[in-house]
Structures are given as structure tokens and as C-alpha cells.
Structure 1
Amino acid sequence: MVLLNDKLKTTSILNVSYINTNFTYFLQIIQARINQRENTFIATVNPEIAYYAHQNPKYQSILSSADFVTPDGIGIIKASEMIGQPIQERITGFDIFKALLEWGSQNNKSAYFAGAKPDVINDLKVVLKSQYPGIKISGIRDGYFKSDQEVASEIKDQQPDMVFLALGSPKQEAFIAKYRHLNNGLWIGLGGSFDVLSGNVKRAPQFWINHHLEWLYRLIKEPSRLPRIMIIPKYLKLVRKSK
């Protein structure tokens, strides 16, 4: 049985505390909190985001305000091993997103979606209708809105069970930190997850994911990602120095 006050083990790396548990148990905790309308902020952090947080104290403070920070990247797992506090499992934003949509569809939960490009949102609407028909869409819009306050007001009015933001970091986490008090539901930043679920970006085949090579697959498909990928060794170097 999962209790709302269950204390998850965490592992701190460069002043960011990551949950140290398995995906199944974490999902049960999230679902219990959603059912109880417990205000919840989840930050999904990969090495690129962690490196940025290390350079930007204000953003690191935002991550510290999250209820849960998940290790979204094999680089975070490697870093935990380097400091002798291995994290059990990589928990990605995309996997959380899909699992919550499936569960939400089965349990008639409501969700608000904001982020990505207009074409992506149009495709996402089709996917949601066909694959997750039980989800009540409280609102859905692309990420090119001019007024954060307008989006926040919609969320406040609709009071969805889940708020999914694909605005990219650090914008999505800053938005959540500023407006989460307006809705006692789940708030989570998902980066490029709308692009993947809508079919506009192909996720790595399971073989690459199982062998922790998803980053390499994406680099092959998108060579322009190289500067972002190169942050991983910089991040691991920082972790090594911090030991």
C-alpha cells in the first residue's frame, strides 16, 4: 500500500536530490497523490539540465522546490555510481507521461497540455483522442503563447488533475514554481515528450534504450544535438571533482 507521506530515498548530486526508487513504485505514489488532489511538482532532470542548474543558483532553487526530481538520463545514473550512491533506475519524463495518460484514461482523469509547436499539438490531439479516449482535456495549446498569466488562469479555472508542460527547461520549471499554487494537481515539465508521443520525433528502439544508448541514437538522427550531448562529460567531470 502506498501512503502519501511515504518518504522516498533520495541521492544528492551537485545539490540536486534525485528520487532513488523504481518506476512502478514511484508511479503508485504519483497516482495516490493525484487521487487525493495533493499539489505535486515533478522535475525530470538529465545531465544537461543538472549542469545548467549548477551554473544558475536561481534555477537550482526551483529544482529544490520540486516534490520529486527524477533521474532522466543515463548520465545521472553514472554520476550516482561515481559518488558511491547508485540510483536504482532511470525514470524518464516520457515514461511518466505515457503511464499517466494510460492510467488517466482508465480512470477518467482530466489533464491540461501546453507546449511544443502548433503542428505537434494538432497531431497530439489526434493521438490523445484515439489512444487515450478516457482523458478529459481541460485545455491544450502550443507553446507559443504570449501570456503566461493567461495559461495560468485557464489552469486555475479548469482545475485539472494533471498539468503537462512541454516548454523546455528552464521555462517549464519556472512556470510551475510560479503558478503551482493555483491548482492542487500534478504539475510536470516534459521537454520534448509531446513531439515523441505525437509521432513528430521518433524515440529510440527498445534495444538502444535497454543498452543506455538512447543519447547516441538521437545524436545519429540529429547531429545538431552534439553540443548538448557534450555537456554530459562536462557534467560528469564536475561530479568527479565534487567527490
Structure 2
Amino acid sequence: MFERIEVLGVPIDRVNMEQSIDWVDQTITGDKPEVIYSLNSEIVVMAQNNPLFLNLLRDGGLLIPDGIGVIVAAKWLGLGLLEQVPGCELMPAICESAARKGYSIFLFGAAPDVNVKAQEVLRERFPGICIAGARDGYVKDEEMPQLINEINSSGAQVLFVALGCPRQELWVEKYLPLLNVKVCQVVGGTFDVIAGTVKRAPLIFRKMNLEWFYRLASQPKRIFRQTALIKFVSQVARKRLGLF
């Protein structure tokens, strides 16, 4: 449906927010489950270093350009323009559509209090939304069959998984074939953002494409994750110069 390009060998769909919502609405009526993965510079580097991770991304139904890094890289590498589709904005947009069109959702992941608060906020923001079920992310391996049954018994059509990367992607790869949901989106820390336990960057930072800087400044422990960003920028520069 969408053009799928590759940035440094990692696939990304040329899709915008409206098209992403339309894709969800169409997939809801399909006959097999599909997954939405979010692509940013850290994910690209991770996929380059892990063939298994790269292959599961290739199998994704929708690969949204989440991070500004991949958008800038695509432009620099002559791949044309990509429109940013932040996963933390796509999830509420899907919930808004679900409330209007009557399909149900299931929230899996995050800490217990965060999961509960996220449910409360979603019900307040989107009156009429059907949250068919929810479970925090503290589920042991031996409890997975029970969780799968719980998700399937709920009748939910959309599943949001918030376990952090790469755990959430690996979980979906393993368990999606056992699920009756139609759409699954991995959402990282989005439950925390919705619940208000983690603040998004102010709008001015987002407009200046500096949300990553705000997150680093407000969460200094993220500095250890910036090595991936440095590697990504280096590879983009080398590719631009024909050295990669």
C-alpha cells in the first residue's frame, strides 16, 4: 500500500499520520493480525547489529518514521521526504478512531499504576472508548499463556504493547500469531506519557525537532543510549560521501 524505502538497509514506510489511521481502519476488517513498528535512529542501529531484529521489522505491517533522525537521513541520502509519525501521537489517534468507530482496545505493559492511570486518561479523553482489557508489563514467562487467553477472550481488535525496545518487538514476533487481535502497535513509553508520569517535550522543542535533546536533558541516564545516535549520524555521513 505504501512505498517502503530503506535507510541504511533498514525498511521504513513513506506514510503520514492520516494514512496510518486509514491503514488501521482497513486492517481492522482484514483476516490476519498486523503490527505497527516505530522507526528511529536507535532502532536502525539495533537492526543493523541484529539480523533477527531486522527480519522482524521487515515482516511488520506498518513501519512508521517515528524519529526525526531517520527523516533527516532519508533527505540527506536522496530518498525524498518523509513525514514524521510519532508513535506517542499515533496511539491516541488510533484510540480516537476506535471511540468513534466502535472497535475495542487492550493495553499491555508499563507499571501497574501507570497502566491504570493511562486507562483513566483514555476514557476521559475519548468518551465511549471500549477498553476491553488491560495488563501491566510484569508478566512472567509461565503466565504468558494466561495473558494470551485473556487478550483473546477480551475480543479486543487493537493491542498496544508497552514493554520497551527491543523486548516489545520480540514479544510481538513470538506471540502475535497466537492472538486474535487485528492490529498491534508497540508503543514504548507512551503509556507513561498518557498517564502523565513522563512529560513530552514542550511544543517549541518539537517544532524545532529537538525533542530528543529535551528528553536527554530531563532524563540524563539516556546519555548511554546516545552512542547509537552518534553511530547513526556517522553512518549517514559516510553513506552521503560514498564511504559506506
User: Would you call these one fold, judging by a TM-score over 0.5?
Assistant: yes
Partner in structure 2 of residue 222 of structure 1: 219
Deviation at 1:116, TM superposition (A): 0.7
Q: Equivalent residue for 1:210?
A: 207
Instruction: Tell me if 1:17 matches 2:14.
Output: no
- Residues 142-164 of structure 1: per-residue CA shift (max 9 Å, x gap): 11111333222222222311000
SS of the aligned residue for 1:201 comes to: coil
Counterpart of 2:48 in structure 1 is 54
Residue type at the aligned position of 1:131: R
Q: Distance in 2 between matches of 1:24 and 1:114?
A: 25
SS at match of 1:165: strand
Q: TM-score, normalised by structure 1?
A: 0.91
Measure the CA separation in 2 of the matches of 1:21 and 1:170: 23
Correspondence for 1:94:
88
Letter in 1 for 2:166: P
Structure 1 moving runs of 4+ over 4 Å: none
Distance in 2 (CA, whole Å) between partners of 1:149 and 1:65 is 23
* Match of residue 168, structure 1, among 164, 170, 183: 164
Q: Is the 8 A contact 2:65 2:82 kept in 1?
A: no
Cα distance change on mapping 1:24 and 1:127 into 2, 3 Å? same
**1:234 corresponds to:** 231
Pick aligned residue for 1:85 from 55, 79, 86? 79
Residues 33-48 of structure 1 aligned to structure 2 (within 5 Å): 33-36=27-30, 38-48=32-42
1:157 is aligned to 153
Q: Which of residues 193, 197, 200 is equivalent to 2:194?
A: 197
80-89 or 55-64: bigger deviation = 80-89
The range that moved more, 33-42 or 9-18, is 33-42
The aligned amino acid for 2:43 is: I
SS in 2 for 1:169: coil
SS at match of 2:185: strand
- 2:132 corresponds to 1:135: no
Counterparts of 1:109 and 1:135, CA distance in 2? 8
SS in 2 for 1:114: strand
- Contact persistence 1:81–1:87 (CA under 8 A): yes
Q: After alignment, is 190-199 or 137-146 more displaced?
A: 137-146
Bigger mean CA offset, 130-139 vs 191-200: 130-139
What's the Cα RMSD here? 1.7
How far apart are the structure 2 equivalents of 1:82 and 1:219? 24
Contact 1:104 1:134 (C-alpha < 8 Å) held by counterparts:
no
Q: CA–CA distance in 2 between the matches of 1:237 and 1:213? A: 19
* Paired residue secondary structure (2:132): strand
Paired letter, 1:195: D
One-letter amino acid of the structure 2 residue matched with residue 70 of structure 1? I
Q: 2:81 aligned with 1:69, yes or no?
A: no
Letter in 2 for 1:239: V
Residues 152 and 181, structure 2, Cα contact 8 Å, conserved in 1: no
Q: Point out where structure 1 has 5 or more consecutive residues left out of the alignment.
A: 1-6
How far apart, CA to CA, are the structure 1 residues paired with 2:180 and 2:9?
28
Identity of matched residues, %: 32
